[in-house]
Structure 1
Amino acid sequence: MTGSDHQAEQRAGLLAAIVAYGLWGLLPIFVKLVDNVGSPEVVAQRIIWSLLLIVAILSARGATGSLIAVLRDPGLMRPLTLSALLIATNWLTYVWAVNSAHVLAASLGYFLNPLVNVLLGVLVLKERLRRGQMVAIAVAALGVAIMAAAALSTLWISVALALTFGFYGLVRKLTPVAPMAGLGAETAVLAPVALACLGWLAASGGIAFGHDVRTSGLLIGMGAVTMVPLVLFATAARRLPMATLGLLQYLAPTLQFLCGVLLFGESLSQGQIVSFGLIWVGLLLFALDSYTSARRNRLVPV
Protein backbone atom coordinates (compact mmCIF):
# COMPACT_ATOMS: atom_id res chain seq x y z
CA MET A 1 0.00 0.00 0.00
CA THR A 2 1.37 3.40 -1.00
CA GLY A 3 1.55 6.39 1.33
CA SER A 4 -1.41 8.08 -0.38
CA ASP A 5 -3.46 4.89 -0.14
CA HIS A 6 -2.65 4.63 3.54
CA GLN A 7 -3.68 8.24 4.12
CA ALA A 8 -6.95 7.63 2.26
CA GLU A 9 -7.59 4.58 4.46
CA GLN A 10 -6.90 6.67 7.55
CA ARG A 11 -9.24 9.46 6.40
CA ALA A 12 -12.02 6.96 5.65
CA GLY A 13 -11.52 5.35 9.04
CA LEU A 14 -11.56 8.74 10.74
CA LEU A 15 -14.85 9.74 9.07
CA ALA A 16 -16.42 6.36 9.90
CA ALA A 17 -15.39 6.71 13.55
CA ILE A 18 -16.76 10.26 13.89
CA VAL A 19 -20.16 9.30 12.42
CA ALA A 20 -20.37 6.11 14.48
CA TYR A 21 -19.55 7.85 17.75
CA GLY A 22 -21.91 10.71 16.92
CA LEU A 23 -24.78 8.27 16.42
CA TRP A 24 -23.93 6.44 19.65
CA GLY A 25 -23.79 9.74 21.47
CA LEU A 26 -27.42 10.42 20.57
CA LEU A 27 -28.57 6.85 21.27
CA PRO A 28 -30.03 7.66 24.74
CA ILE A 29 -32.70 9.75 23.01
CA PHE A 30 -33.84 6.76 20.98
CA VAL A 31 -33.63 4.32 23.90
CA LYS A 32 -35.74 6.65 26.05
CA LEU A 33 -38.48 6.43 23.44
CA VAL A 34 -38.89 2.74 24.28
CA ASP A 35 -38.47 3.02 28.05
CA ASN A 36 -41.84 1.25 28.39
CA VAL A 37 -40.20 -1.91 27.03
CA GLY A 38 -38.10 -4.21 29.21
CA SER A 39 -34.34 -4.25 28.56
CA PRO A 40 -34.22 -7.96 27.51
CA GLU A 41 -36.87 -7.40 24.85
CA VAL A 42 -35.18 -4.24 23.56
CA VAL A 43 -31.90 -6.14 23.14
CA ALA A 44 -33.64 -9.16 21.60
CA GLN A 45 -35.44 -6.93 19.11
CA ARG A 46 -32.17 -5.18 18.27
CA ILE A 47 -30.60 -8.53 17.44
CA ILE A 48 -33.45 -9.85 15.27
CA TRP A 49 -34.08 -6.66 13.30
CA SER A 50 -30.36 -6.02 12.83
CA LEU A 51 -29.93 -9.50 11.36
CA LEU A 52 -32.93 -9.11 9.05
CA LEU A 53 -31.71 -5.72 7.85
CA ILE A 54 -28.18 -6.99 7.20
CA VAL A 55 -29.49 -9.99 5.25
CA ALA A 56 -31.77 -7.70 3.22
CA ILE A 57 -28.90 -5.32 2.36
CA LEU A 58 -26.52 -8.16 1.46
CA SER A 59 -29.23 -9.78 -0.67
CA ALA A 60 -29.84 -6.51 -2.52
CA ARG A 61 -26.12 -6.32 -3.24
CA GLY A 62 -25.95 -9.98 -4.25
CA ALA A 63 -23.41 -10.47 -1.47
CA THR A 64 -25.08 -12.99 0.86
CA GLY A 65 -22.28 -15.38 -0.04
CA SER A 66 -19.89 -13.32 2.09
CA LEU A 67 -22.04 -13.90 5.17
CA ILE A 68 -22.49 -17.60 4.42
CA ALA A 69 -18.73 -17.97 3.95
CA VAL A 70 -18.10 -16.42 7.37
CA LEU A 71 -20.71 -18.63 9.04
CA ARG A 72 -19.02 -21.72 7.56
CA ASP A 73 -15.52 -20.72 8.70
CA PRO A 74 -14.78 -22.01 12.25
CA GLY A 75 -11.63 -19.89 12.40
CA LEU A 76 -13.73 -16.75 12.02
CA MET A 77 -16.75 -17.88 13.98
CA ARG A 78 -14.82 -18.54 17.18
CA PRO A 79 -13.73 -14.90 17.67
CA LEU A 80 -17.05 -13.61 16.30
CA THR A 81 -18.94 -15.69 18.85
CA LEU A 82 -16.84 -14.06 21.56
CA SER A 83 -17.47 -10.58 20.11
CA ALA A 84 -21.20 -11.38 19.88
CA LEU A 85 -21.34 -12.23 23.58
CA LEU A 86 -19.39 -9.08 24.44
CA ILE A 87 -21.65 -6.76 22.44
CA ALA A 88 -24.84 -8.42 23.73
CA THR A 89 -23.67 -7.89 27.32
CA ASN A 90 -22.82 -4.30 26.45
CA TRP A 91 -26.26 -3.66 24.90
CA LEU A 92 -28.15 -5.17 27.83
CA THR A 93 -26.17 -3.15 30.39
CA TYR A 94 -26.55 0.06 28.39
CA VAL A 95 -30.30 -0.20 27.79
CA TRP A 96 -30.93 -1.03 31.44
CA ALA A 97 -28.77 1.91 32.57
CA VAL A 98 -30.54 4.44 30.32
CA ASN A 99 -34.02 3.23 31.26
CA SER A 100 -33.05 3.28 34.95
CA ALA A 101 -32.03 6.96 34.79
CA HIS A 102 -28.28 6.21 34.82
CA VAL A 103 -27.34 7.96 31.57
CA LEU A 104 -24.39 9.69 33.26
CA ALA A 105 -23.10 6.34 34.55
CA ALA A 106 -23.40 4.97 31.01
CA SER A 107 -21.55 7.97 29.62
CA LEU A 108 -18.77 7.41 32.18
CA GLY A 109 -18.42 3.87 30.83
CA TYR A 110 -17.68 5.28 27.43
CA PHE A 111 -15.36 7.89 28.93
CA LEU A 112 -13.43 4.97 30.45
CA ASN A 113 -13.49 2.94 27.23
CA PRO A 114 -10.95 5.04 25.29
CA LEU A 115 -8.43 4.44 28.07
CA VAL A 116 -9.16 0.71 27.84
CA ASN A 117 -8.61 0.92 24.06
CA VAL A 118 -5.30 2.72 24.49
CA LEU A 119 -4.17 0.18 27.10
CA LEU A 120 -5.11 -2.75 24.86
CA GLY A 121 -3.37 -1.10 21.92
CA VAL A 122 -0.13 -0.76 23.89
CA LEU A 123 -0.20 -4.12 25.70
CA VAL A 124 -1.73 -6.40 23.06
CA LEU A 125 -1.02 -4.73 19.70
CA LYS A 126 2.33 -3.22 20.79
CA GLU A 127 1.33 0.24 19.54
CA ARG A 128 3.71 3.02 20.53
CA LEU A 129 2.59 6.37 21.89
CA ARG A 130 4.32 9.66 21.25
CA ARG A 131 5.12 11.84 24.26
CA GLY A 132 2.35 14.28 23.39
CA GLN A 133 -0.16 11.42 23.21
CA MET A 134 0.94 10.15 26.62
CA VAL A 135 0.44 13.60 28.15
CA ALA A 136 -3.01 13.89 26.56
CA ILE A 137 -4.05 10.46 27.81
CA ALA A 138 -2.75 11.22 31.31
CA VAL A 139 -4.85 14.41 31.48
CA ALA A 140 -7.95 12.59 30.21
CA ALA A 141 -7.33 9.72 32.64
CA LEU A 142 -7.21 12.17 35.54
CA GLY A 143 -10.58 13.56 34.46
CA VAL A 144 -12.08 10.08 34.23
CA ALA A 145 -10.68 9.17 37.68
CA ILE A 146 -12.34 12.25 39.23
CA MET A 147 -15.62 11.42 37.52
CA ALA A 148 -15.44 7.79 38.69
CA ALA A 149 -14.74 8.85 42.29
CA ALA A 150 -17.86 11.01 42.22
CA ALA A 151 -20.06 8.09 41.13
CA LEU A 152 -18.91 5.01 43.04
CA SER A 153 -22.40 3.55 43.54
CA THR A 154 -22.92 3.12 39.80
CA LEU A 155 -19.28 2.50 38.88
CA TRP A 156 -20.04 -1.16 38.05
CA ILE A 157 -22.20 0.01 35.13
CA SER A 158 -19.38 2.14 33.79
CA VAL A 159 -16.72 -0.57 34.18
CA ALA A 160 -18.91 -3.22 32.54
CA LEU A 161 -19.60 -0.98 29.54
CA ALA A 162 -15.95 0.04 29.18
CA LEU A 163 -14.53 -3.48 29.33
CA THR A 164 -17.12 -5.19 27.12
CA PHE A 165 -16.84 -2.60 24.37
CA GLY A 166 -13.06 -2.30 24.65
CA PHE A 167 -12.54 -6.02 24.18
CA TYR A 168 -15.22 -6.08 21.48
CA GLY A 169 -13.22 -3.52 19.50
CA LEU A 170 -10.01 -5.52 19.97
CA VAL A 171 -11.61 -8.78 18.79
CA ARG A 172 -13.12 -7.10 15.72
CA LYS A 173 -9.81 -5.42 14.89
CA LEU A 174 -7.99 -8.77 14.98
CA THR A 175 -10.66 -10.69 13.04
CA PRO A 176 -10.19 -10.42 9.25
CA VAL A 177 -13.84 -10.10 8.24
CA ALA A 178 -15.81 -7.40 6.40
CA PRO A 179 -17.80 -5.16 8.81
CA MET A 180 -21.32 -6.07 7.62
CA ALA A 181 -20.60 -9.78 7.24
CA GLY A 182 -19.03 -9.79 10.70
CA LEU A 183 -22.02 -8.09 12.31
CA GLY A 184 -24.32 -10.44 10.43
CA ALA A 185 -22.46 -13.43 11.86
CA GLU A 186 -22.57 -11.94 15.37
CA THR A 187 -26.33 -11.35 15.23
CA ALA A 188 -26.84 -14.83 13.71
CA VAL A 189 -25.06 -16.30 16.75
CA LEU A 190 -27.30 -14.33 19.10
CA ALA A 191 -30.55 -14.82 17.14
CA PRO A 192 -31.59 -18.18 18.70
CA VAL A 193 -31.29 -16.73 22.22
CA ALA A 194 -33.15 -13.59 21.14
CA LEU A 195 -35.96 -15.63 19.58
CA ALA A 196 -36.21 -17.78 22.71
CA CYS A 197 -36.46 -14.64 24.85
CA LEU A 198 -39.18 -13.15 22.65
CA GLY A 199 -41.03 -16.46 22.58
CA TRP A 200 -41.01 -16.66 26.36
CA LEU A 201 -42.22 -13.06 26.66
CA ALA A 202 -45.00 -13.71 24.14
CA ALA A 203 -46.11 -16.85 25.97
CA SER A 204 -46.23 -15.02 29.29
CA GLY A 205 -48.06 -12.00 27.85
CA GLY A 206 -45.16 -9.66 28.57
CA ILE A 207 -44.06 -8.77 25.04
CA ALA A 208 -44.43 -5.13 23.97
CA PHE A 209 -44.01 -5.65 20.24
CA GLY A 210 -47.35 -5.60 18.45
CA HIS A 211 -49.23 -3.73 21.18
CA ASP A 212 -49.17 -0.41 19.31
CA VAL A 213 -47.79 0.96 16.05
CA ARG A 214 -45.43 3.46 17.69
CA THR A 215 -43.66 0.96 19.95
CA SER A 216 -43.47 -1.69 17.23
CA GLY A 217 -42.05 0.81 14.74
CA LEU A 218 -39.41 1.99 17.19
CA LEU A 219 -38.36 -1.58 17.98
CA ILE A 220 -38.04 -2.34 14.27
CA GLY A 221 -35.99 0.84 13.93
CA MET A 222 -33.59 -0.61 16.49
CA GLY A 223 -32.19 -2.67 13.63
CA ALA A 224 -30.89 0.37 11.74
CA VAL A 225 -29.90 2.20 14.93
CA THR A 226 -27.82 -0.84 15.89
CA MET A 227 -26.38 -1.82 12.53
CA VAL A 228 -25.20 1.48 11.07
CA PRO A 229 -22.83 2.66 13.85
CA LEU A 230 -21.48 -0.86 14.48
CA VAL A 231 -20.61 -1.34 10.82
CA LEU A 232 -18.96 2.09 10.77
CA PHE A 233 -17.10 1.28 13.99
CA ALA A 234 -15.82 -2.03 12.60
CA THR A 235 -14.65 -0.15 9.49
CA ALA A 236 -12.82 2.40 11.66
CA ALA A 237 -11.33 -0.30 13.91
CA ARG A 238 -9.68 -1.96 10.90
CA ARG A 239 -8.17 1.30 9.61
CA LEU A 240 -7.14 3.31 12.67
CA PRO A 241 -4.70 2.65 15.53
CA MET A 242 -6.40 1.70 18.79
CA ALA A 243 -5.03 4.82 20.48
CA THR A 244 -6.59 7.10 17.86
CA LEU A 245 -9.83 5.13 17.90
CA GLY A 246 -9.90 5.33 21.68
CA LEU A 247 -9.47 9.08 21.93
CA LEU A 248 -12.03 9.77 19.19
CA GLN A 249 -14.55 7.84 21.23
CA TYR A 250 -14.86 10.73 23.68
CA LEU A 251 -17.34 12.23 21.21
CA ALA A 252 -19.99 9.61 22.09
CA PRO A 253 -19.92 9.88 25.89
CA THR A 254 -19.75 13.66 25.67
CA LEU A 255 -23.01 13.70 23.74
CA GLN A 256 -24.50 11.10 26.11
CA PHE A 257 -23.36 13.19 29.06
CA LEU A 258 -25.07 16.26 27.61
CA CYS A 259 -28.24 14.24 26.95
CA GLY A 260 -28.31 13.10 30.59
CA VAL A 261 -27.89 16.61 31.96
CA LEU A 262 -29.73 18.80 29.46
CA LEU A 263 -32.51 16.51 28.23
CA PHE A 264 -33.15 14.06 31.06
CA GLY A 265 -32.42 16.32 34.05
CA GLU A 266 -29.81 14.14 35.78
CA SER A 267 -27.86 16.04 38.45
CA LEU A 268 -24.32 17.25 37.73
CA SER A 269 -21.78 17.64 40.53
CA GLN A 270 -18.85 20.05 40.67
CA GLY A 271 -16.45 17.10 40.42
CA GLN A 272 -18.11 15.98 37.22
CA ILE A 273 -17.76 19.47 35.75
CA VAL A 274 -14.02 19.50 36.55
CA SER A 275 -13.53 16.01 35.13
CA PHE A 276 -15.49 16.90 32.00
CA GLY A 277 -13.13 19.84 31.42
CA LEU A 278 -10.00 17.72 31.94
CA ILE A 279 -11.22 15.06 29.52
CA TRP A 280 -11.75 17.65 26.80
CA VAL A 281 -8.36 19.24 27.47
CA GLY A 282 -6.82 15.80 27.01
CA LEU A 283 -8.76 15.28 23.79
CA LEU A 284 -7.64 18.65 22.42
CA LEU A 285 -4.01 17.90 23.33
CA PHE A 286 -4.26 14.55 21.54
CA ALA A 287 -5.75 16.20 18.44
CA LEU A 288 -3.02 18.87 18.46
CA ASP A 289 -0.29 16.23 18.73
CA SER A 290 -1.82 14.22 15.85
CA TYR A 291 -2.06 17.35 13.67
CA THR A 292 1.53 18.36 14.44
CA SER A 293 2.83 14.87 13.71
CA ALA A 294 0.91 14.64 10.41
CA ARG A 295 2.21 18.05 9.32
CA ARG A 296 5.78 17.09 10.25
CA ASN A 297 5.49 13.87 8.22
CA ARG A 298 4.25 15.81 5.17
CA LEU A 299 7.29 18.10 5.38
CA VAL A 300 9.78 15.21 5.50
CA PRO A 301 11.07 14.52 1.94
CA VAL A 302 10.47 11.01 0.62
Structure 2
Amino acid sequence: MDDVTWLTAAFEEHRGHLRAVAYRMLGSVGEAEDAVQDAWLRASRADTGAVENIGGWLTTVVARVCLNALRSREQRREDPLESRIPDPVVTAESGADPEKQALLADSVGLAMLVVLESLAPAERVAFVLHDMFAVPFDEIAPMLEKTPAATRQLASRARRRVQGQAPAPDPDLSRQRLVVDAFFAAAHDGDFGALVSVLHPDVVLRSDGGIARTRYTVTVRGAEVVAGQATGFSRFAPFAIPALVNGAAGVVVAADGHPLSVMAFTVTDGLIASIDVLADPERLAALDLAVVPGRD
Protein backbone atom coordinates (compact mmCIF):
# COMPACT_ATOMS: atom_id res chain seq x y z
CA MET A 1 0.00 0.00 0.00
CA ASP A 2 1.51 3.37 -1.01
CA ASP A 3 1.57 6.39 1.32
CA VAL A 4 -1.36 8.18 -0.36
CA THR A 5 -3.61 5.12 -0.22
CA TRP A 6 -2.65 4.52 3.41
CA LEU A 7 -3.33 8.13 4.43
CA THR A 8 -6.66 8.20 2.57
CA ALA A 9 -7.80 5.04 4.33
CA ALA A 10 -6.66 6.35 7.71
CA PHE A 11 -8.43 9.66 7.20
CA GLU A 12 -11.70 7.97 6.24
CA GLU A 13 -11.40 5.73 9.30
CA HIS A 14 -11.15 8.80 11.55
CA ARG A 15 -13.51 11.11 9.63
CA GLY A 16 -16.40 10.64 12.08
CA HIS A 17 -14.19 11.48 15.04
CA LEU A 18 -12.77 14.53 13.26
CA ARG A 19 -16.28 15.80 12.45
CA ALA A 20 -17.23 15.40 16.12
CA VAL A 21 -14.16 17.41 17.19
CA ALA A 22 -14.87 20.16 14.65
CA TYR A 23 -18.58 20.34 15.55
CA ARG A 24 -17.75 20.95 19.21
CA MET A 25 -15.14 23.52 18.24
CA LEU A 26 -17.32 25.46 15.81
CA GLY A 27 -20.95 24.72 16.74
CA SER A 28 -21.84 24.47 13.06
CA VAL A 29 -22.36 21.29 11.07
CA GLY A 30 -21.48 22.98 7.78
CA GLU A 31 -18.36 24.67 9.15
CA ALA A 32 -17.32 21.40 10.75
CA GLU A 33 -17.52 19.67 7.36
CA ASP A 34 -15.47 22.46 5.80
CA ALA A 35 -12.87 22.19 8.58
CA VAL A 36 -12.53 18.44 8.06
CA GLN A 37 -12.09 18.94 4.32
CA ASP A 38 -9.47 21.63 4.94
CA ALA A 39 -7.70 19.27 7.35
CA TRP A 40 -7.60 16.62 4.63
CA LEU A 41 -6.00 19.03 2.19
CA ARG A 42 -3.36 19.92 4.75
CA ALA A 43 -2.77 16.30 5.71
CA SER A 44 -2.42 15.19 2.09
CA ARG A 45 0.39 17.70 1.57
CA ALA A 46 2.25 16.83 4.78
CA ASP A 47 5.05 14.34 5.35
CA THR A 48 3.45 11.68 7.55
CA GLY A 49 6.32 9.22 7.45
CA ALA A 50 7.31 9.87 11.06
CA VAL A 51 3.75 10.00 12.45
CA GLU A 52 3.21 7.21 14.97
CA ASN A 53 -0.36 8.02 16.08
CA ILE A 54 -2.23 9.02 12.94
CA GLY A 55 -5.54 9.55 14.76
CA GLY A 56 -3.98 11.92 17.28
CA TRP A 57 -2.07 13.74 14.57
CA LEU A 58 -5.20 14.23 12.44
CA THR A 59 -7.04 15.52 15.52
CA THR A 60 -4.42 18.22 16.00
CA VAL A 61 -4.58 19.13 12.30
CA VAL A 62 -8.36 19.68 12.38
CA ALA A 63 -8.01 21.49 15.73
CA ARG A 64 -5.59 23.98 14.17
CA VAL A 65 -8.03 24.61 11.32
CA CYS A 66 -10.83 25.19 13.84
CA LEU A 67 -8.67 27.50 15.97
CA ASN A 68 -8.01 29.68 12.92
CA ALA A 69 -11.74 29.72 12.11
CA LEU A 70 -12.62 30.69 15.71
CA ARG A 71 -10.09 33.53 15.71
CA SER A 72 -11.40 34.81 12.38
CA ARG A 73 -14.98 34.58 13.65
CA GLU A 74 -14.08 36.53 16.80
CA GLN A 75 -12.58 39.36 14.77
CA ARG A 76 -15.67 39.82 12.60
CA ARG A 77 -18.32 38.97 15.20
CA GLU A 78 -21.07 41.57 15.52
CA ASP A 79 -23.91 39.65 17.16
CA PRO A 80 -24.03 39.25 20.97
CA LEU A 81 -22.56 35.92 22.05
CA GLU A 82 -25.68 34.92 23.97
CA SER A 83 -27.96 35.47 20.98
CA ARG A 84 -26.39 32.85 18.71
CA ILE A 85 -27.69 29.32 18.97
CA PRO A 86 -25.28 26.77 17.43
CA ASP A 87 -26.53 24.34 14.80
CA PRO A 88 -28.67 21.66 16.47
CA VAL A 89 -28.39 18.02 15.47
CA VAL A 90 -31.95 16.70 15.20
CA THR A 91 -32.85 13.01 15.13
CA ALA A 92 -36.06 11.03 15.47
CA GLU A 93 -36.87 9.58 18.87
CA SER A 94 -37.33 6.17 17.31
CA GLY A 95 -34.58 4.72 15.14
CA ALA A 96 -30.89 5.50 15.06
CA ASP A 97 -29.03 7.64 12.54
CA PRO A 98 -25.46 6.27 12.60
CA GLU A 99 -23.93 9.36 10.98
CA LYS A 100 -25.55 11.75 13.43
CA GLN A 101 -24.81 9.48 16.36
CA ALA A 102 -21.14 9.59 15.40
CA LEU A 103 -21.31 13.39 15.35
CA LEU A 104 -22.78 13.35 18.86
CA ALA A 105 -20.59 10.61 20.33
CA ASP A 106 -20.23 11.44 24.02
CA SER A 107 -23.29 13.61 23.47
CA VAL A 108 -22.90 17.35 23.88
CA GLY A 109 -26.10 19.26 24.56
CA LEU A 110 -27.04 22.46 22.79
CA ALA A 111 -26.88 24.38 26.08
CA MET A 112 -23.23 23.39 26.44
CA LEU A 113 -22.49 24.48 22.88
CA VAL A 114 -24.05 27.86 23.66
CA VAL A 115 -21.66 28.25 26.60
CA LEU A 116 -18.74 27.14 24.43
CA GLU A 117 -19.66 29.97 22.04
CA SER A 118 -18.87 32.43 24.86
CA LEU A 119 -15.33 31.12 25.39
CA ALA A 120 -12.24 32.69 23.88
CA PRO A 121 -10.83 30.59 21.02
CA ALA A 122 -7.87 29.29 23.03
CA GLU A 123 -10.12 28.37 25.98
CA ARG A 124 -12.51 26.51 23.72
CA VAL A 125 -9.76 24.55 21.99
CA ALA A 126 -8.09 23.61 25.27
CA PHE A 127 -11.35 22.53 26.89
CA VAL A 128 -12.74 20.60 23.92
CA LEU A 129 -9.52 18.75 23.14
CA HIS A 130 -8.64 17.86 26.73
CA ASP A 131 -11.98 17.43 28.50
CA MET A 132 -13.97 15.94 25.62
CA PHE A 133 -11.29 14.06 23.68
CA ALA A 134 -8.58 13.42 26.29
CA VAL A 135 -5.78 15.09 24.29
CA PRO A 136 -2.82 15.75 26.66
CA PHE A 137 -2.01 19.37 27.44
CA ASP A 138 1.55 19.01 26.13
CA GLU A 139 0.06 18.24 22.69
CA ILE A 140 -2.41 21.13 22.82
CA ALA A 141 0.05 23.74 24.06
CA PRO A 142 2.11 24.15 20.84
CA MET A 143 -0.90 25.02 18.68
CA LEU A 144 -1.95 27.67 21.22
CA GLU A 145 1.65 28.90 21.61
CA LYS A 146 1.32 28.39 25.36
CA THR A 147 3.09 26.30 27.96
CA PRO A 148 1.32 23.11 29.10
CA ALA A 149 0.69 24.77 32.48
CA ALA A 150 -0.93 27.81 30.86
CA THR A 151 -2.99 25.52 28.62
CA ARG A 152 -4.18 23.63 31.68
CA GLN A 153 -5.31 26.94 33.20
CA LEU A 154 -7.25 27.82 30.05
CA ALA A 155 -9.09 24.50 30.18
CA SER A 156 -9.76 24.89 33.90
CA ARG A 157 -11.24 28.36 33.42
CA ALA A 158 -13.44 27.07 30.60
CA ARG A 159 -14.50 24.06 32.69
CA ARG A 160 -15.70 26.28 35.55
CA ARG A 161 -17.80 28.34 33.17
CA VAL A 162 -19.33 25.29 31.52
CA GLN A 163 -20.15 23.64 34.83
CA GLY A 164 -21.73 26.85 36.11
CA GLN A 165 -23.83 27.62 33.04
CA ALA A 166 -24.53 24.27 31.33
CA PRO A 167 -25.94 21.80 33.88
CA ALA A 168 -25.83 18.12 32.97
CA PRO A 169 -29.22 16.84 31.75
CA ASP A 170 -31.06 13.97 33.41
CA PRO A 171 -29.86 10.72 31.81
CA ASP A 172 -33.36 9.23 31.49
CA LEU A 173 -34.81 10.35 28.14
CA SER A 174 -38.33 9.21 29.06
CA ARG A 175 -38.27 11.46 32.13
CA GLN A 176 -36.99 14.34 30.03
CA ARG A 177 -39.87 13.82 27.60
CA LEU A 178 -42.48 13.83 30.37
CA VAL A 179 -41.24 17.22 31.56
CA VAL A 180 -41.13 18.68 28.04
CA ASP A 181 -44.65 17.36 27.34
CA ALA A 182 -45.85 18.95 30.58
CA PHE A 183 -44.32 22.25 29.47
CA PHE A 184 -46.18 22.23 26.16
CA ALA A 185 -49.44 21.12 27.76
CA ALA A 186 -49.24 24.05 30.18
CA ALA A 187 -48.30 26.45 27.36
CA HIS A 188 -51.24 25.20 25.26
CA ASP A 189 -53.63 25.74 28.16
CA GLY A 190 -52.12 29.08 29.09
CA ASP A 191 -51.57 27.74 32.61
CA PHE A 192 -48.96 30.09 34.05
CA GLY A 193 -48.71 28.25 37.37
CA ALA A 194 -48.17 24.89 35.68
CA LEU A 195 -45.46 26.42 33.49
CA VAL A 196 -43.61 27.82 36.49
CA SER A 197 -43.84 24.44 38.23
CA VAL A 198 -41.82 22.66 35.50
CA LEU A 199 -39.17 25.39 35.25
CA HIS A 200 -36.05 25.66 37.37
CA PRO A 201 -36.07 28.95 39.34
CA ASP A 202 -32.97 30.09 37.41
CA VAL A 203 -34.06 28.77 34.01
CA VAL A 204 -32.68 30.59 30.96
CA LEU A 205 -34.48 30.94 27.63
CA ARG A 206 -32.32 31.80 24.63
CA SER A 207 -33.80 32.34 21.19
CA ASP A 208 -32.02 33.12 17.92
CA GLY A 209 -34.25 34.50 15.18
CA GLY A 210 -31.45 35.57 12.87
CA ILE A 211 -31.66 38.63 10.66
CA ALA A 212 -35.14 37.77 9.39
CA ARG A 213 -36.75 37.38 12.82
CA THR A 214 -34.91 39.77 15.10
CA ARG A 215 -37.96 40.06 17.36
CA TYR A 216 -37.43 36.40 18.27
CA THR A 217 -33.83 37.00 19.37
CA VAL A 218 -34.02 37.19 23.15
CA THR A 219 -32.34 35.94 26.29
CA VAL A 220 -34.41 35.91 29.48
CA ARG A 221 -33.90 34.33 32.89
CA GLY A 222 -36.05 33.23 35.79
CA ALA A 223 -39.03 30.90 35.97
CA GLU A 224 -41.76 33.56 35.99
CA VAL A 225 -40.18 35.60 33.19
CA VAL A 226 -39.66 32.51 31.01
CA ALA A 227 -43.20 31.29 31.79
CA GLY A 228 -44.51 34.65 30.60
CA GLN A 229 -42.63 34.22 27.33
CA ALA A 230 -43.76 30.58 27.03
CA THR A 231 -47.45 31.46 27.14
CA GLY A 232 -46.84 33.00 23.72
CA PHE A 233 -45.89 29.53 22.47
CA SER A 234 -49.44 28.26 22.97
CA ARG A 235 -50.39 28.68 19.31
CA PHE A 236 -47.37 26.61 18.29
CA ALA A 237 -47.99 23.72 20.70
CA PRO A 238 -50.16 21.73 18.21
CA PHE A 239 -47.31 21.89 15.67
CA ALA A 240 -44.58 20.60 17.98
CA ILE A 241 -43.00 17.39 16.68
CA PRO A 242 -41.13 15.41 19.34
CA ALA A 243 -37.49 14.83 18.43
CA LEU A 244 -34.08 14.41 19.96
CA VAL A 245 -32.06 17.61 19.78
CA ASN A 246 -28.38 16.90 20.41
CA GLY A 247 -29.41 13.68 22.09
CA ALA A 248 -31.92 15.24 24.53
CA ALA A 249 -35.70 15.62 24.47
CA GLY A 250 -36.74 18.51 22.26
CA VAL A 251 -39.16 19.47 19.50
CA VAL A 252 -39.27 20.78 15.97
CA VAL A 253 -42.13 23.21 15.44
CA ALA A 254 -43.36 22.92 11.85
CA ALA A 255 -46.51 23.84 9.93
CA ASP A 256 -47.37 22.39 6.51
CA GLY A 257 -43.92 20.90 6.22
CA HIS A 258 -42.16 24.20 6.93
CA PRO A 259 -39.99 24.33 10.09
CA LEU A 260 -40.59 27.34 12.30
CA SER A 261 -38.15 26.53 15.08
CA VAL A 262 -36.07 23.87 16.79
CA MET A 263 -36.34 23.86 20.58
CA ALA A 264 -33.78 22.15 22.81
CA PHE A 265 -34.49 21.54 26.49
CA THR A 266 -32.07 20.79 29.30
CA VAL A 267 -33.98 18.90 32.00
CA THR A 268 -32.13 18.61 35.29
CA ASP A 269 -33.59 17.01 38.43
CA GLY A 270 -37.00 16.95 36.80
CA LEU A 271 -37.06 20.67 35.97
CA ILE A 272 -36.25 22.59 32.79
CA ALA A 273 -32.96 24.41 33.37
CA SER A 274 -32.61 25.88 29.88
CA ILE A 275 -34.51 26.26 26.63
CA ASP A 276 -32.54 27.03 23.46
CA VAL A 277 -34.53 27.98 20.39
CA LEU A 278 -33.32 28.34 16.81
CA ALA A 279 -35.91 30.29 14.82
CA ASP A 280 -33.71 31.67 12.03
CA PRO A 281 -35.47 30.61 8.79
CA GLU A 282 -32.28 30.69 6.72
CA ARG A 283 -30.44 28.36 9.08
CA LEU A 284 -33.50 26.14 9.61
CA ALA A 285 -33.73 25.63 5.85
CA ALA A 286 -30.15 24.33 5.82
CA LEU A 287 -30.68 21.78 8.61
CA ASP A 288 -31.37 18.09 8.15
CA LEU A 289 -34.90 17.93 9.60
CA ALA A 290 -36.14 14.60 8.32
CA VAL A 291 -38.45 14.37 11.36
CA VAL A 292 -40.73 16.96 9.69
CA PRO A 293 -43.33 15.28 7.45
CA GLY A 294 -42.81 16.23 3.82
CA ARG A 295 -39.09 16.96 4.24
CA ASP A 296 -36.39 14.51 3.18
Per chain length, whose mean CA-contact separation is higher, i.e. which structure has more relative contact order (CA < 8 Å, sep 6+)? 1
Greater helix content? 1
Q: Does TM, normalized by the shorter one, top 0.5?
A: no
TM-score, with normalisation over the residues of structure 2? 0.31
Greater strand content? 2
